[in-house]
Amino acid sequence: MDRPRALLLENIDPVAADLLRSAGYETESLRGALDEADLVAALDGVDLLGIRSKTLVTAEVLRRSPGLAAVGAFCIGTNQIDLAAAAAAGVAVFNAPYSNTRSVVEMAIAEIICLARRLVDRDRALHAGTWDKSAAGSHEIRGRTLGIVGYGNIGSQLSVLAEALGMRVLFYDLEDKLALGNAQACGSLEELLERSETVTLHVDGRAGNAGLFGREQFARMPRRSLFLNLSRGFVVDHEALRDHVLSGHVAGAAVDVFPDEPREQGDEFASVLRGLPNVILTPHVGGSTQEAQHDIGRFVAGKLVDFTSSGTTTLSVNLPTVALHGSSAARFALLHRNVPGVLARADALVGEHGLNVDGQVLATRGELGYAVTDVSATPPPELLAALGELPETVRLTLLPCSAG
């Protein structure tokens, strides 16, 4: 039999390829993203796909890649993947929701300090040969009020570090969140904007967040306040931000994510924010420290290997969560439509072919059910054919070995 294949795109840390190769995968790593047509062609014969934020895994890509078993998003967000289509095709999706949290938080803290001290302007002036030794417009962050929009993993950790530096912290989230330290929850976004001297966005990629921050929101911020966005590019109106920076209403801004980003390293970057005073622009590197990328590569690749070797779906973002511990002669995974009686019929087929069920775990999620079953001997082809022909079966996988 041919070795299983994995394709990694967008310059994923080499530890991921090393881990996949050690698990028996023939692994190819590419530096850039692929468009839909090129991605479909590249996925011919590929079992596992690894991407970051630029590659779009659409329903069409999934439809034309029936051999694909799983997708690893080597980042936090998964909005670049059609999760519903992936689930319907039996393709598991995994991401790294926590691995680069610290990197993003440290960068936010650094940028808040740089903006408050106007270090970007001082740096540019000195490189241009101008000695501008002045305290004008330069402030400490101690005692100032930070407003955090989105109090998830990143927002809450930023809250703790900012408070340790002497900042007062306010936050707003659509969900009721427990405040850490002395942070205070605001009842509305408008309240947070009116009370904060620095506003930072840490929201997720859901469609409802598109256009979250525009002219009305900037106008509500106090004059000479600071603004940061290290979350998603499409949540901010950059034309409105430019106008408020040029008018002096916003004293400084740091932006790491953009509505349209270059596909590959070295491509031209276009933005209305280029060249503005006291504005820090970074190329989507909030989570791009060597430590974070190494941890993400190890974590997501490990989830892909666990799924394809033992059927484990722990922390999958689109399939029911199942982890069957123990060992047996053989193991299979049955992803099926969530209707009554499927598991009973599957177990009856196992018995009819002379095998015992040694262990089994079932979980459901919406319209899908996922069962991992250990049996007493290698299932004969007739049993696998019968399980695959159940009308509710989405995908049947005979796993290479059972977990020990």
**Hey, what amino acid is at 161?**
L
Check residues 21 and 76 and name the one with the higher pLDDT.
21
pLDDT at 404 (0 to 100):
45
Per-domain residue ranges of the chain: 1-98+290-319, 101-281, 320-404
Mean pLDDT of the chain: 95
Query: What stretches of 80-233 adopt beta strand conformation (E)?
Result: 92-94, 145-149, 168-172, 184-185, 198-201, 225-229
**Would you give the distance in Å from CA 294 to the centre of its chain?**
15
Phi, psi of 281 (to 5 degrees): -115, 125
- Whether 2 shows a pLDDT value over 80: the answer reads no
Largest CA distance in the chain: 86
Q: DSSP characters for 21-38?
A: HHTT-EEEE-SS---HHH
Does residue 266 contact residue 297 with C-beta atoms inside 8 Å? Answer: no
Three-class SS state of 200: strand
Average pLDDT over residues 22-40: 96
**Hey, what amino acid is at 37?**
A
pLDDT at 1 (0 to 100):
47
Residues 101-281: name the CATH superfamily: NAD(P)-binding Rossmann-like Domain (3.40.50.720)
Give Rg (Cα) of the chain.
Answer: 25
Residues 9 and 328: their CA atoms lie apart, in Å, by 36
26, 36, 106, 261: the catalytic one is 261
The CATH class for the domain spanning 320-404 reads: alpha beta
**Hey, what amino acid is at 49?**
L
| Strand pairing class (92-94; 70-73) | parallel
Tokens 């408008």, located at residue: 190
- Whether 403 shows a pLDDT value over 50: the answer reads no
CA angle 289, 290, 292 (to 5 degrees): 65
- Whether the predicted model's global pTM rises above the 0.85 cut: no
Q: DSSP characters for 347-377?
A: HHHHHHTT--EEEEEEEEETTEEEEEEEESS
pLDDT at 401 (0 to 100):
61
228-287 tens-digit pLDDT: 999 999 999 999 999 999 999 999 999 999 999 987 778 899 999 999 999 999 999 999
Burial 48-67 (b: 16+ CB within 10 A, else e): bbbbbbbbbbeeebbebbee
Average pLDDT over residues 349-374: 96
232 is catalytic: yes
pLDDT at 217 (0 to 100):
98
* Identical fold, 1-98+290-319 and 320-404: no
Does residue 388 contact residue 361 with C-beta atoms inside 8 Å? Answer: no
Average pLDDT over residues 124-147: 95
What strands, in cross-sheet order, belong to the sheet with 225-229? 184-185, 168-172, 145-149, 198-201, 225-229, 250-255, 279-281
Does an H or E element contain 381, and which? helix 381-388
pLDDT at 263 (0 to 100):
78
- Whether 179 shows a pLDDT value over 70: the answer reads yes
pLDDT at 8 (0 to 100):
98
216 is catalytic: no
168, 202, 284, 331: the catalytic one is 284
Residues 146 and 193: their CA atoms lie apart, in Å, by 10
Q: Cβ of 152: how many Cβ atoms within 10 Å?
A: 18
pLDDT over 70, % of the chain: 99
127 is catalytic: no
| Domain 1-98+290-319, classified CATH 3.30.365.10, yes or no | no
Residues 190 and 187: their CA atoms lie apart, in Å, by 8
118, 202, 232, 336: the catalytic one is 232
Average pLDDT over residues 200-211: 90
Phi, psi of 161 (to 5 degrees): -70, -40
